[in-house]
Chain A
């Protein structure tokens, strides 16, 4: 007999290093054995591994491991967070929820990004508001939260007087990895981050890029489910930048890590993120998936002509189309791209214009960012 039922959300419990809730549909399947529990090595389920509980009633419940069950949940929920530095309000009633995957945290200087990160890490107490991170209460369970977060600071910070690998081992041990395991894991992560023999040199002798890599590596050493990366690609050459973005992608897609990517480099966010949060003046201006943000924008075509554009422009306007002149002589025509394309060709033929470029307008994150932040600046 095989039956299926949906299990209701139950109380939170801890499996391995992460916290999970039983809220994904559980799958029931028949088995012969009586009550059976088959955990993986040392009682922890790995990524994608199945935990199986069997009961005497000849069926068992299979449900995925912690990370997979979290996929549909918001891992971070903040409600009306306010943080004041004396008379200055750094966070102004911030409410947001962050789902698994990569989320870009954007904002101009002084927007409150660093304050928000410090609040998430429990380094700063909030003036008011509440929140949950990975199922733990913000403010009261900070040590547990910090043990599940890998944080890469933006500042050029390092542990002086020791080598790269010693620094990694030290951070691993602060996260309670046993000494020998910490060293093994440090080497493993340094390999992953492409740091070769330099790991044996004193950290003070490292270049900016190498210190950046080391900070990225130390955030991973304890295998946290949540990564907060503050400017992970600043100061890196193009090759290293691409490699770092690739590592972030791998961590999120293949290893189920949730990543908060805090950066000023918008193409980085556009390249890897699924969602974006834009902060300005301590307020959340935008918090949505990139897909939704792109969908919300009016479709348009970009046209570049060889020769004078006036006849073509006039022809399009006669047909009731709104045409905007952009930089570099590019025309932006709003409307559904499929029917617009044939109209463009018709008008070009009639006005004897030669089309050099015809492409759908790409809505860039930069545009969204400038529009959002520009609005608050205007209001200010």
Chain B
């Protein structure tokens, strides 16, 4: 028998504000994901392309000051699929205008190419268990018997994925921008490129919101997270394959390989290319009219995914 037992005690402390309940859910999900060694490795790898792009920023800034670097800088940019209208840009003559365009291209290319691929892998590892695990362990009754709304639950789960996505897209892109400013000869460069941080955030949101909704929707459809992961990867692989095959059939293999984005019609079947086109708009490379269809597709996918998600997490309550 215990010599001293406090037993049950009343709690009389001060409650925290209720508006951040979603943050409790996302915090738990972020910590749970961080326990995975694969995710930590992937995050490490996600920063590797930033070094290559950092080098490109260095070359560009050198070229704006020293004409001798111009050729080397443009050669390097061409390896990153520099668009035709930028291939003969003079970095030394008109550095301010050139800087904005080249930096926009570099940041767009960074978020669109290496980071979008890492995004597919990262979401495929993080998102599938987020809701399917709660379905399997029937945790919904525990969640919703607390003063928590379904919207807060969804926001909490989504925010966990967004946090990792921002870590691989917006954070390194903003660091690249900062590095560019520090490498430039004058601090006034900020005045001519002030919009780029906002464009980075916008492009990152375009990358994060529809993809997270889709992945969480797959997660909510099954109690087995591996099925959700399978469906997620299948969407990207099938989309890419369909686009590549149909474009090759229409344009011929050789032309399709050299000009992959020339035929935009079939790019609408590939989520990767749809995202890319809307992100190009975020960096000012395409007009708003040109992204109405791909933007509409992203909005529709997001809306349908959220509706299914909401329905699925409400289902256990209705029984």
Binding site for B on A (CB under 8 A): 16-17, 40-42, 44, 46-47, 85, 118, 121, 123-124, 143-144, 146-147, 149, 151, 153, 155-162, 170-171, 173-178, 181, 185, 188-189, 191-192, 215, 218, 220, 222-223, 247, 250-251, 254-255
Contact = CB atoms under 8 A, between A and B. Distances in A.
Contacts of B146: 146-147, 171, 174-175
A149 B148 CA distance: 13
A176 B137 contact: no
A192 B7 contact: yes
Contacts of A171: 142, 146
Nearest to B317: A123
A306 B66 CA distance: 119
Given A123-B144, A170-B28, A160 B12 contact: no
A220 to B, nearest CB: 7
B149 interface: yes
Contact of A176 (B9, B16, B136, B140): B16
B137 A160 contact: yes
A252 B139 CA distance: 27
Contacts of A189: 8
A151 B317 CA distance: 14
A124 B317 contact: yes
Given A158-B139, A160-B139, A175 B28 contact: no
B317 A46 contact: no
B18 interface: yes
A70 B12 CA distance: 18
B10 A255 contact: yes
Contacts of B9: 188
B147 interface: yes
B12 A176 contact: no
A279 B285 CA distance: 67
B28 A176 contact: no
Contact of A157 (B14, B21, B32, B137): B137
Nearest to B153: A174
Contact of B136 (A41, A149, A160, A218): A160
Could you say which of A85, A176, A178, A251 has the most chain B C-beta atoms within 10 Å of its C-beta? A176
Nearest to B137: A160
A316 B55 CA distance: 109
B3 interface: no
B17 interface: yes
Contact of A223 (B11, B32, B143, B144): B11
A251 B137 contact: no
